[in-house]
Amino acid sequence: MSKLKVAVAGVMRGPSRGWLVGFRMITSMSDIFNIEVKAVLEGLKLAWDRGFRQIEVESDNSFLINVLQNDLAVVSSIDEIRLILDWYSKDWQVKFRYIQRDSNKVVDQLAKMDRGRVNCLVIHEDPPHSVNCERFAGGGYSSINNG
């Protein structure tokens, strides 16, 4: 299977569900699972760098959440899954939670923004104007929650 250039994205929100920071990155991946894994990995790195020490990671990929919640990451042959396990093992509280696809709309909007250079992380301190933040108020987005 050939590798495609795809976008990964995430949003971090505070306890009141407001925007803390968002991110997006263009990367080369060959399947949906690896794309989701990359988004979680980049989100964990950014959360750690920002000093968040109690987070909840949401994903609409039920298989990925199952792997992460049930210690299947230990036997994974995917490097990024093992890296997620390394980040998970740091001195912080991380929970993984499955969400429905339609609850991931703000992250999807971020991922569809203009294309950048491959493997260059773009940080959004504020929601971009092109992202419909009305969905934000109702929680219609996902990613990493600083709890």
Encode 77-87: b = buried (16+ Cβ within 10 Å), e = exposed: eeebbebbbeb
H/E element holding 136?
helix 134-137
Residues 99 and 65: their CA atoms lie apart, in Å, by 10
- How far apart are the C-alpha atoms of 108 and 132, rounded to whole Å? 11
* Mean pLDDT of each 10-residue bin along the chain, 147 residues long: 76 82 83 87 93 90 91 81 93 90 70 72 84 48 41
Domains of the chain: 4-146 (3.30.420.10)
